[in-house]
Structure formats: C-alpha cells, structure tokens
C-alpha cells in the first residue's frame, strides 16, 4: 500500500522519541516532518536531542538530519508535508487543546498522546481492542470543527493499560460492580530516567499528580456510549485507585480487586478462558502493531515481572497473573503493561492504524 506521510509534534521529548523509533520501517507510515518548540527549531533532529536521547536504540539514520520545525511559526509548512500527525507536546492543557484544534482545522488529523482532549465529548479516547466503535464520533467532531478530514483522536492514560484491558471482557460478559486498583508506575511515565531523576533510585513516591483521577474516570468514558453525537461516560463500575511512582525504568504494574454483580460471579477458570480467548478489533484487522494475543495469563505466581514481561509481543501485549479469590472483593489479580509502548507511543501508533484501516485518515500528500 502507499504509505501515509506522518509528522510528530513534540518530537524531542521521551514519548516523541518513542514515536520516532516506532515509525522507523513502519509498513504503513513514513515519518516526513517533525516539529517542536522554538528552542529546538532550525536544528537537525540529532542536534535537538543531543545529550537527552532516552531510547535504548540509536536515533534512526533517516531522521538524524531532518530539520525540526517550529510548531508555532512553521505550522503551515509542517502540515503541508503530512497526511496526519502524532502529538506528544509538553505544554499547558489549554495550550495543547488550542494547538491540536488548530492543526485539525488545517485538515490534518491529530492522534494525540496528551490528556487535554480526553474528556472533550466528541473526541474519541480509544484503545482499539476495547472501544473501536467510538471513532464514529469523529463525524460529529468534524461538523463542530468545520473540517472535512481534520479531527482529533486521543489515547488513554498509560497506567490504564495495565488493568482496563483485563477488566474489559469480564465487564462485557458478566458486568462489574466495583474495582479497586493500585498502580506501580515506572519513571519513564514522567519522561525521565535514573540519570535525570537520581532521587528515584532506591525510592518510592506515593503521589503522581492527577493520575488517580484519570485512573478512576477515564475507563468510564472508554466504556461509555455514543449518544447524539457525543460520548456519554458510563457510571459502572465504581473505581477507586492509588498511584505510586516506583524505581523502574519502564513498565506499569497494577494490583486489582474486583467485584461482580450478585449472581454473576464467574469461576476462576472461566475468567482465565475469557482472557485467553479475547480478541479485539485490532486483532480482527491484523493491524501491524497489534499483538497476536492481547491478554497473556501466567500461572506461576512469581509472574508477571516488570523486567521479564514488559516487552511481550513488542511491548504491546498485557501480562496478567495471580488471579485468586479475595476476602473483601470477589477476586484480585496483577496486571502489567509497557507504559511507553502500549501505554503511550505504541498505543498511539496502533490507534492511527485503526483510523487508517477504517478510512478516517485519507492520503493527501503525493
């Protein structure tokens, strides 16, 4: 197929760097333009990230000499080179909202890693295996923006990937009444490594600003319904959470407790079978970044472990373990996801693949 021409806004940050690496040799997407703030504008990409390249793999040769554009001053030139863009900027929320809408109104679709538009009612917040039907709200959003092809679609918070995928098939089949979750989140979720954040070595910080609210509210939008051109969040299950920062490079882990409606509690064997057999739209379409098996359960109680399972299926699969009965809730289990792959840039690329496959991203650059 003819490749889509793709941009990355916020290309110098950790998630932007991850987008750059994931687009190298992508079968559908070709990175053709990169943009950041005025501090990096005019430099080659190699110069712009000198001393702050955080990926374990080297800068792709195809990007090293690419000139970083100023997303404010060079926006028209940036948009003219691409069919759509990924956005991973580090700005104030209202500034991000304005920038993403400005890009969309230039008839350039935006696939965003940012949280600014996650609760805009006509902006889909999508995990392709969970709520792919929500992309239909783009039709209404385009009417609001006055665009023919431009729109904004976002991915959910990175920590949700460690537990919401496991809850989803169970909620669909049996219903869920209440959920308690504690997440143990890697430092790359803050855009840092141990060199830039030495305070995290041998340390745990019991607070991540805004994270608990996202953990409790975002799943309810993902499980919501498309009504009269907007996404209306559901009110079940009730979710309460705590989020801790732990001394791990990559990988968010979750300890999850769940209760089913009265009379709907499945057996442990049924839950494991539901997890093993679950396939979402990403698997049905055989999207390039989709894991062959979305949910992997490990019988050994020592698994999943962050270092051993975070890269499962290219970091795009979810690892689960320790499913057992609980004294206060029906069951408890542990989940794990790679936060900058499935949780951030990889999830964004997978969402873009879904949008392209479903016809929402047209080719415009020849």
Query: 152-177: b or e for each residue (b if 16 or more CB lie within 10 Å)?
Result: bbbbbbbbbbbbbbbbbbbbeebebb
Supply 290's token pair: 């989709």
Which residues on neighbouring strands pair with residue 238, listed in sequence order?
Answer: 178
CB atoms within 10 A of CB 26: 17
HSE at residue 229, side-chain half, CA atoms within 13 A, is 6
Q: How far is CA 298 from CA 170, 196, 288, in A?
A: 18, 34, 25
CA 353 to chain centroid: 13
HSE at residue 32, side-chain half, CA atoms within 13 A, is 18
- Give the phi and the psi of residue 318 in degrees, each rounded to 5: -110, 130
Burial (CB < 10 A; 0-12, 13-18, 19+), residue 225, is exposed
Active site residues: 158, 252
How many angstroms separate the CA atoms of 308 and 6, rounded? 32
How many angstroms separate the CA atoms of 144 and 104, rounded? 11
Torsion angle in degrees (nearest 10) through CA of 252, 155, 31, 340: -10
Which 8-state DSSP code applies to residue 205? B
Supply 128's token pair: 């392709």
Find out whether 40 and 68 touch, Cβ atoms under 8 Å: yes
Burial (CB < 10 A; 0-12, 13-18, 19+), residue 267, is exposed
Whether the bond between 237 and the residue before it is cis, its omega within 30 degrees of 0, is yes
């Amino acid at each position: 197929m003819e490749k889509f021409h793709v941009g990355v806004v916020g290309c110098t940050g950790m998630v932007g760097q991850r987008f750059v690496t994931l687009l190298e040799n992508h079968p559908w997407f070709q990175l053709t333009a990169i943009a950041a703030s005025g501090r990096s504008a005019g430099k080659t990409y190699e110069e712009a990230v000198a001393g702050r390249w955080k990926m374990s793999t080297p800068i792709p040769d195809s990007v090293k000499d690419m000139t970083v554009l100023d997303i404010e001053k060079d926006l028209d030139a940036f948009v003219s080179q691409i069919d759509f863009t990924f956005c991973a900027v580090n700005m104030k929320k209202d500034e991000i909202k304005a920038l993403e809408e400005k890009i969309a109104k230039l008839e350039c679709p935006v696939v965003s890693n940012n949280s600014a538009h996650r609760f805009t009612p006509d902006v889909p917040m999508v995990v392709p295996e969970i709520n792919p039907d929500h992309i239909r709200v783009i039709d209404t959003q385009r009417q609001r923006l006055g665009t023919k092809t431009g729109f904004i679609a976002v991915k959910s918070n990175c920590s949700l990937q460690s537990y919401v995928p496991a809850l989803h098939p169970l909620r669909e089949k049996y219903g869920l009444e209440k959920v308690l979750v504690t997440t143990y989140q890697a430092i790359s979720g803050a855009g840092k490594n141990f060199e830039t954040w030495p305070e995290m070595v041998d340390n745990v910080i019991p607070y991540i600003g805004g994270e608990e609210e996202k953990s409790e509210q975002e799943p309810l939008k993902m499980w919501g319904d498309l009504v009269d051109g907007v996404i209306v969040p559901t009110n079940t299950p009730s979710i309460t959470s705590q989020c801790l920062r732990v001394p791990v490079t990559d990988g968010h882990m979750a300890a999850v407790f769940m209760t089913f409606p009265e009379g709907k509690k499945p057996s442990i064997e049924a839950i494991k079978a539901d997890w093993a057999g679950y396939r979402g739209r990403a698997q049905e379409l055989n999207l390039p970044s989709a894991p062959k098996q979305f949910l992997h359960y490990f019988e050994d109680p020592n698994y999943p472990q962050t270092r051993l399972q975070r890269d499962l299926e290219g970091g795009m699969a979810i690892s689960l373990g320790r499913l057992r009965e609980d004294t206060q809730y029906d069951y408890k289990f542990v989940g794990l996801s790679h936060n900058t792959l499935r949780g951030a840039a990889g999830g964004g690329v997978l969402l873009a693949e879904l949008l392209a496959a479903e016809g929402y991203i047209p080719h415009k650059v020849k």
